[in-house]
Chains A and B, each alone.
Chain A
């Protein structure tokens, strides 16, 4: 973990409610699946946001405007600075011996999979991606994943774009491992729908984001875990589902 001041170099809407913010500055290396915790003027708690991409002191976050914090973020401009704790959480395990990983993202669970896909492809894996959204106007990052060289399927619950249905209606049956991030109902459905091993990133309301307050604890088969510290990524076989 590192506390740092980062400068906003981009803050643009990708959909009516989802924004991409690019930040630049002195950060530690970030692994796919880790998150940052952002301090915002006038709000007491920081806002934990997953990292969508990282490269040499430049990081990208994609966030959905859902409350005061993200609303404030969406109104910030280029050149403004943010106080950020970086390098939080365990991140995805890139060392599992899979050849054909399947990446499954739902809504704002999609962003952390981008950096993951980039790293997996760099390691020579054949990556397929399923991105689930409610409706066509909410779809983002399909092209970005394609440009990385991943095979991409988009699902929408109302059928207005891509495959009609949920991510579980479009899983690549040749995959030998999955990485997921999304709302808990999606993760549960995925857990039921697939036999292959995998890991998923979880969300919880956090106090500190770095393991001090025990605000985000959960029980697993391998003991109590803090989502912010031993998570947010948990292995399928650890889950009490």
Chain B
């Protein structure tokens, strides 16, 4: 029997597979299909202080081996997440969940995290300073080390739960931002959010996405994500959650060898609703194939 256990910021996971925020809602669409307790955990839909409708449609464009989304953080707002979504989730998911938080000011992040800190179901706070689809917030905090550190400090001040800062790949030096978050007290780093991308409809010469640009995800970005996970995990001593184009058990192993302690799966959930269950199911046999007895042993193996 192989061992898929990992520990993420002091919380044990049965396996490192985590559906990524924005691709798994609040879990119950998937709970209709399979028992989502087979997952390590999942990161719920990015939550903000106030309810948000998000961007105009079209919000989706297809790409080679991937897709662009410009949803723009549609969510019911933290108060409704606490009063409606979490009680519904509690019926189908018994493990600690990862709460994904976004904001438009440092105070927003702190407020939303303070509210979620009081929720027993929440295991980790994943602080998204990297949403490419909103103006005046999101990614603007994640493209500057000082701003990212400021958000990290503000959030750390209001919670005792582990804080994982989710970083944007749309920067020149992701390592400096990761280090700034670590110095500011982050308990973990997750990366990468989507890459800023664009498609044009050649019939009319106009952008496909109403918001012009959006976040590119899917298997096409896997090598970029892997490279950044490798760079960041080599430079920080806190755990790294790797994501970006992961769609197979082999991808999970590769991501962990690059330095990821756990691995998020995003766009794959949208094209194959059973993607995460399949990865969890296949992980033991793929480990056996590569002679891996204990998954935690391969974290960072590529660093030598």
Name A's B-contacting residues (CB within 8 A): 1, 3, 39, 43-46, 85, 204-208, 210-219, 224, 229
Contacts and interface: CB of A to CB of B under 8 A. Distances in A.
Interface of B: 22-25, 29-30, 32-33, 45, 53-54, 57-67, 69, 71, 74, 208, 218-219, 267, 269-274
A215 B71 contact: yes
B273 A213 contact: no
B185 to A, nearest CB: 31
Contact of A204 (B25, B53, B58, B67): B58
Contacts of B58: 204-205
Given A45-B67, A217-B74, A210 B60 contact: no
A207 B268 CA distance: 11
A216 B71 CA distance: 9
Contact of B30 (A206, A212, A219): A212
Given A44-B271, A207-B270, A213 B62 contact: no
B61 A205 contact: yes
Contacts of B30: 212
A208 B25 CA distance: 11
Given A207-B60, A212-B29, A216-B57, 20 more contacts: A3-B33, A39-B271, A45-B60, A204-B57, A205-B57, A205-B208, A206-B60, A207-B67, A208-B23, A210-B273, A211-B25, A212-B24, A212-B270, A213-B22, A213-B23, A213-B270, A214-B22, A215-B69, A216-B60, A217-B59
A217 B57 contact: yes
B168 to A, nearest CB: 19
B270 A208 contact: yes
B65 A44 contact: yes
Contact of B271 (A46, A204, A219): A46
Cβ-closest 7 pairs across A and B: A208-B270, A215-B60, A205-B58, A214-B74, A205-B60, A207-B60, A45-B62
A207 B57 contact: no
Contacts of A45: 60, 62, 67, 270-271
Most buried by A among B23, B58, B59, B272: B59
A123 to B, nearest CB: 29
Contact of B60 (A1, A213, A224): A213
Contact of B32 (A1, A46, A216, A218): A1
B269 A208 contact: yes
Contacts of B74: 214, 217, 224
